[in-house]
Amino acid sequence: MPLFITPLTLPANGPLWIDLSGITPDRLADLSLSQIERLPLLADGRASEFGLLFSANRSTDGSDGAIECVGDFSRVHRIGAKMTIGTIVVQGDAGRHAGEAMTGGTLTITGDAGDWLAAEMTGGTLRVGGRAGDNVAGALPGSRAGMQGGVVVIAGDVGCLAGARMRRGMLAIGGDCGAGVAFEMRAGTALVAGRIGENPCLGMKRGTLIALASIPALSPTFQRGSVWSPTFMPLLANRLARAHFQPAKSAGDLCQGKWQQWHGDTLYGGRGEVFHR
């Protein structure tokens, strides 16, 4: 049975924010409920304990590597941060930095997610059923590397700077994205099913951006390439289907027809690529 976590207070009466760092399946696997309740947390920047902020319940002793968050977690930040194994399911919204620096496991958020989702993630799978904020799969302030591995699938819209300084992995966005997608991208694949905001791919060195439904307004430092049917598209379609990415559920979204390729950013070597219909 999973470990069920529920907030003890409503947002109107509770802390403005709670940092849930360290509450991951690998850390809780061998702990009793009483030990979990004594784990240290931060609430509004002050030291607190898990048991003062949340209730934890499971019907059997031990853990099957699963955590289920039930209630309003919109002000709870760093859910699944540095997660290595197991699964976490948030039934609703999640706060900022969810899945930050994940290395493995699966984090599922059925509602919306805040800023810095999957920042500097290196492995695992992260799914969001709603929208996400700015800096999805991006680099933390002062860092040169954003997402470095794993899969991030978002059903709705995202904010600005999605995939900034991304180095590896796959980011799939089912809705629109804000300005600066794939900023200073180094490697990896980002796919956007909706509209793409201004200034995409500035400073791109390597990597791939795929626009399913719009033509990105690329800077003049991108050069038009060939019109062709890339052989990797069917492989990408299969990977997206396995990740339950609905906008590309039909392999025809990627596998049929030809694509216009662009090369850039030529100011930074021009080895990145952008594809649109």
pLDDT band per the 50, 70, 90 thresholds, residue 249: low
Q: Which residues pair with 128 in a beta bridge?
A: 109, 154
Q: What is the pLDDT of residue 247?
A: 83
**Element of type H or E holding 40:** strand 40-43
Is 2 among the domain residues? no
Q: How many domains does the chain have?
A: 1
Q: Say if 43 falls within a structural domain.
A: no
* pTM metric for this prediction: 0.95
Query: What's the mean pLDDT in 4-28?
Result: 90
28 found inside a domain: no
Residue 77 has pLDDT above 60, yes or no: yes
User: Could you tell me whether strands 54-57 and 76-77 are parallel, antiparallel, or unpaired per DSSP bridges?
Assistant: unpaired
Question: pLDDT (tens digit, 9 = 90+) per residue, 153-183?
Answer: 999 999 999 999 999 999 999 999 999 999 9
Question: From CA 145, how far away is CA 129, in angstroms rounded?
Answer: 26
Q: Is 90 exceeded by the pLDDT of residue 9?
A: no
Tell me what pLDDT residue 34 has. 94
28-48 tens-digit pLDDT: 988 999 999 999 999 999 999
Does 252 reside within a domain? yes
Asked, for residue 63, whether it belongs to a domain, the answer is no
Does residue 251 have a pLDDT over 90? no
Establish if 211 belongs to a structural domain.
yes
| Residue 84 within a domain | no
DSSP H/E element including 273: strand 272-276
For all residues of the chain together, what is the average pLDDT?
94
Render pLDDT for 117-156 as a digit per residue (tens, 0 to 9). Answer: 999 999 999 999 999 999 999 999 999 999 999 999 999 9
Structural domain of 214: 112-276
- Classify residue 13: in a domain, yes or no: no
Phi/psi at 81 (5° precision): -60, 135
